[in-house]
């Protein structure tokens, strides 16, 4: 599998809770297969799902899914609309650019602590 950002090979890494993720050693991006984000946070994926970003997106910003090879969608990570992610509409995998994992985990833990699972 190759990085959707720079086409370098993705390397399998073990993250917290023995969850296998794919990382790019060149750009530090992270690929999460469907449900891996939920496993990392302990929340159902649909709780974490934000709306699709409807603003104009430049074509050079659209990434191809490393699994399905189709265009990924730009989405907000959650209803807070503070972090943008790339999600595949086919396999529902998620691409995180460098620096996006920490704020995503913070948001997820805040949601979990608040009990707001709506």
Q: Which residues have CB under 8 Å from 92's CB, separation 6+?
A: 34, 45
Task: Identify the three-state secondary structure at position 108.
Answer: helix
pLDDT at residue 82, rounded to an integer: 81
Cα(31)–Cα(40) distance, rounded to whole angstroms?
13
Output the pLDDT for position 19. 87
Instruction: Name residues of the chain where pLDDT drops below 70.
Output: 43-60, 115-118
| pLDDT tens digits for range 84-117 | 889 999 999 999 999 999 998 888 888 777 766 5
pLDDT reported for residue 56: 52
Would you say 16 and 81 are in contact if contact means Cβ atoms under 8 Å apart? no
pTM of the model: 0.82
Q: Could you give phi then psi for residue 99, rounded to 5 degrees?
A: 85, -5
């Amino acid at each position: 599998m190759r990085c959707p950002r720079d086409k370098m090979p993705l390397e399998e890494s073990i993250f917290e809770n023995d969850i296998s993720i794919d990382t790019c050693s060149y750009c530090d991006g992270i690929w999460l297969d469907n449900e891996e984000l939920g496993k990392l946070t302990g929340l159902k994926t649909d709780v974490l799902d934000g709306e699709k970003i409807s603003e104009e997106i430049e074509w050079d910003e659209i990434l191809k899914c490393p699994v399905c090879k189709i265009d990924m969608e730009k989405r907000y990570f959650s209803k807070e609309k503070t972090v943008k992610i790339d999600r595949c509409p086919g396999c529902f995998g998620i691409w995180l650019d460098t620096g996006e994992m920490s704020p995503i985990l913070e948001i997820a833990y805040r949601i979990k602590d608040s009990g707001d699972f709506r």
